[in-house]
């Protein structure tokens, strides 16, 4: 199996982002976006997926939309690059994760087709200092750029922090299963012969 990792950089007039991702890691993370809640969610993603993730982001002064979107874009591209042709992977994964009163369900298919369906009934407009709409946008950007099918549904929840964290932990557990190499899998897990496009 090839070395499944990627390091990517993106610099625009709005952000500077560096993302490193190792699929076969131990959940080590170093995340600095300037927003504590965003850092916390990305740390959960690394820790519970067992992917090693490093993210450093500098942003303009226009709020959190640009940096959150660009982190999603770059994290998605890094996942896609690290996957390569997807030979031997399980491809699909799902998880149901509770956090106190919140309960989130996530399913992913590393199909080569980017799509996100999100059913997240946020309570109000913020999670700590992070607008909830940018969290949803990060997930959408991640799915499109990683070219994965992502479904996330919150089944219960009254606290935005708990809702967001449950979603990211469920995403992490789903990705952990989907990227895992299956010793019984021969070749690319697709009848069309590719999960790259």
Instruction: Say whether pLDDT at 189 is over 60.
Output: no
Res 143: pLDDT: 98
Lowest average pLDDT, out of 31-35, 85-89, 162-166, 169-173, goes to 85-89
Task: Find the mean pLDDT for residues 87-104.
Answer: 94
Q: How far apart are CA 179 and CA 65, in angstroms?
A: 28
pLDDT one-digit tens code per residue, 179-188: 998 766 665 5
pLDDT one-digit tens code per residue, 134-160: 999 999 999 999 999 999 999 999 999
Domain coordinates in residue numbering, the chain = 5-179
Res 169: pLDDT: 98
Rg (CA), the chain: 16
Q: How far apart are CA 10 and CA 122, in angstroms?
A: 30
Instruction: Say whether pLDDT at 107 is over 60.
Output: yes
Instruction: Say whether pLDDT at 105 is over 90.
Output: yes
Instruction: Say whether pLDDT at 67 is over 50.
Output: yes
Domain 5-179 fold? Ribosomal Protein S5; domain 2 (3.30.230)
Res 13: pLDDT: 85
Q: Which of 57, 43, 13, 41 is nearest to 129 (CA)?
A: 41
Give burial (CB, 10 Å; 0-12/13-18/19+) of 111.
buried
pLDDT band at 196 (very low <50, low <70, confident <90, very high): low
| 68, β-bridge pairs | none
Half-sphere exposure of 147 (CA within 13 A, CB side): 16
Res 188: pLDDT: 55
């Amino acid at each position: 199996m090839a070395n499944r990792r990627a390091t990517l950089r993106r610099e625009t007039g709005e952000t500077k982002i560096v993302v490193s991702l190792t699929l076969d890691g131990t959940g080590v993370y170093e995340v600095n976006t300037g927003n504590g809640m965003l850092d916390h969610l990305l740390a959960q993603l690394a820790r519970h997926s067992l992917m090693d993730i490093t993210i450093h982001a500098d942003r303009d002064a226009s709020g959190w939309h640009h940096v959150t979107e660009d982190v999603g874009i770059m994290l998605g591209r890094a996942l896609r690059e690290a996957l390569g042709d997807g030979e031997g992977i399980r491809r699909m994964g799902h998880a149901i994760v509770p956090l106190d009163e919140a309960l989130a369900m996530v399913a992913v298919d590393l199909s080569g087709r980017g799509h996100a369906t999100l059913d997240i009934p946020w309570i109000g407009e913020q999670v700590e200092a992070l607008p909830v709409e940018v969290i949803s946008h990060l997930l959408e950007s991640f799915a499109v750029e990683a070219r994965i099918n992502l479904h996330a549904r919150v089944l219960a929840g009254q606290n935005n922090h708990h809702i967001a964290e449950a979603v990211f932990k469920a995403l992490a557990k789903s990705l952990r299963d989907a990227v895992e190499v299956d010793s019984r899998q021969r070749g690319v897990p697709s009848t069309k012969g590719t999960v790259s496009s």
